[in-house]
């Protein structure tokens, strides 16, 4: 089974539908993305939206965020989700490898990501890809 990864540059019906199908598999609180929200993702200069396909069907998504900061060019991987029907076929590995390649090409020295401890399979994948746990305290505020 061949996995082909593509950089998405525009919001199409196919991509909007893929997010509607995939985001609930990532988080039960994920909000649905309409065409305007997907356009905002694809048009942001800091974002690279990757989607792999199997037999022409979008089976996952990953957003690579590369930002220039005073401390250097930083990269983060966000919102990785693979359709449950496509798991176990190497999709995640292809997707992560492509994101790391793009981050290196952009000049980032490091790539960060976060993952809930309950996502055990994903965390094992990230470890195999070379990601190491960092001593850090992530803090969040929820805005109204």
Residue 134 lies in a domain: no
| Number of compact structural domains in the chain | 1
Instruction: Using a cut of 0.85, tell me whether the model's pTM lies above it.
Output: yes
H or E element, residue 119? none
Domain that holds residue 20: 3-128
Residue 144 lies in a domain: no
For 15-74, write each residue's pLDDT tens digit: 999 999 999 998 877 778 899 999 999 999 999 999 999 999 999 999 999 999 999 999
Residue 30 lies in a domain: yes
**CATH number of the domain encompassing residue 66:** 3.40.630.30
């Amino acid at each position: 089974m061949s996995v082909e990864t593509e950089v998405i540059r525009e919001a199409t019906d196919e991509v909007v539908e893929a997010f509607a199908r995939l985001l609930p598999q990532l988080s039960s609180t994920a909000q649905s993305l309409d065409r305007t929200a997907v356009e905002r993702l694809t048009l942001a200069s800091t974002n690279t939206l990757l989607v792999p396909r199997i037999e022409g069907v979008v089976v996952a998504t990953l957003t690579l965020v590369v930002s220039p900061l005073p401390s250097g060019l930083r990269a983060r991987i966000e919102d990785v989700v693979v359709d449950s029907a496509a798991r176990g076929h190497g999709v995640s590995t292809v997707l992560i490898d492509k994101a790391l390649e793009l981050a290196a090409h952009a000049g980032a020295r490091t790539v960060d990501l976060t993952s809930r401890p309950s996502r055990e399979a994903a965390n094992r994948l990230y470890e195999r890809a070379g990601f190491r746990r960092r001593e850090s305290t992530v803090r969040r505020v929820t805005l109204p």
